[in-house]
Amino acid sequence: MKISEPYKIFFPLSLIGLFYSIFLWVFSFLEYKGIMKSSPFGIYPLQYHIYTILGLYILPAFAGFILTAIPRFTGTK
């Protein structure tokens, strides 16, 4: 990664957020099946999973795309 493209860091961060969200899906599945009765997060795992998908996966991917693509599309640096 070159210094001239600093916003590409959002893509690996988005990937980390995706793996974290998938990890939380296990808790949602366990609660759905009745194996786990209480949530270790203080809120329902499915709600937390949705929050992490939006906040840790979609937003960094979108920000990385927009902040990387705008200079390329407009021909600026």
Express each pLDDT in 5-61 by its tens digit: 778 889 999 999 989 888 877 877 787 788 877 666 566 767 777 888 899 999 999
- Gap between the Cα atoms of 46 and 44, Å rounded: 6
Domain coordinates in residue numbering, the chain: 42-77
Residue 20 is predicted with a pLDDT of 87
Longest CA pairwise span in the chain (Å): 55
Angle at 57 between CA 61 and CA 62, to 5 degrees: 25
Stronger pLDDT, 4 or 7, i.e. the higher one: 7
